[in-house]
Structure 1
């Protein structure tokens, strides 16, 4: 049985028509800073906007340590057209024992509204069911984050409800919408 350590120490490259999902590299820090410094991009995620390139360099170093230790860490979302890293996507939680994972993602505001996040998320869902053998994948978003909720719906996830005061970040508790897709949902689509 595949373990979390196996997955993250050898994170595979996944391709879509317009995107390449690949491990984050040291040289990605400037591209990551380009979108993580944007307050609007950081509005509905668990992290604060980066204040300097150093913040993004430290973030990249943290990701690389997570890979080395076999802990969950994101794929870089690379735009094939220009080679830039425009976001990240990951299984923020994965349990091979329970055959479940939770997706998380962030995308540069410059790329919103172009169908890129559903494209990346659909590829990760495909990988989860077809390669990892998962039974269920879920994603959560801040209640007010309509864009993220639309991504979840576009990839076949079903709204399951609202988890109240489910996340404490940015000095307060937040309610989260929960969406999920099961193997039978995926195979029946």
Structure 2
């Protein structure tokens, strides 16, 4: 973990692998896509192989990266965004304790068109290990 902290301090992106517990098969990644140590805030991004959607795997990984951000990096705010049609990702963020903040209109260009994004965040004072671990 100390190595991960050092990489973030050097403004390097670190991808965390998401493995299945039973066989350690790599099924996705999660990371801080942006970090401002000066402002003590970050934004997370993640991707999971479609065959593992809806199994709670990404929710567990998101809770862990949030916990790491508040407890090890001393962040005060962690955010995330998803395309409005991505209800699975919305559920992940909500189950991880994040609050919906609003819609960013035409916030991303993907698959040939501009798409609206939903923005979520969690603040340090809203975080507790007990809440996240449930």
- Normalising by the smaller structure, the TM-score range is 0.7 to 0.9
Q: Does structure 1 conserve the Cα–Cα contact (< 8 Å) formed by 2:7 and 2:14?
A: no
Q: How much is the aligned-residue C-alpha RMSD, in angstroms?
A: 2.2
More helix by percentage: 1
CA shift for structure 1 position 185: 0.7
Who is 2:94 aligned against? 153
Question: Where in structure 2 are there 5+ consecutive unaligned residues?
Answer: none
Is the radius of gyration larger for structure 1 or structure 2? 1
CA shift for structure 1 position 73: 3.6
Matched, 1:124 2:65: yes
Who is 1:186 aligned against? 127
Question: Where in structure 1 are there 5+ consecutive unaligned residues?
Answer: 10-68
Number of residue pairs matched?
128
Q: List 4+ stretches of structure 1 deviating above 4 A.
A: none
How big is each residue's C-alpha offset from its partner over 1:25-67, in whole Å with a ceiling of 9 and x where there is no partner? Answer: xxxxxxxxxxxxxxxxxxxxxxxxxxxxxxxxxxxxxxxxxxx
TM-score (normalised: structure 1):
0.62
Q: Show the 5 A alignment for 1:15-34.
A: none
Matched, 1:164 2:105: yes
Who is 1:90 aligned against? 31
Who is 1:103 aligned against? 44
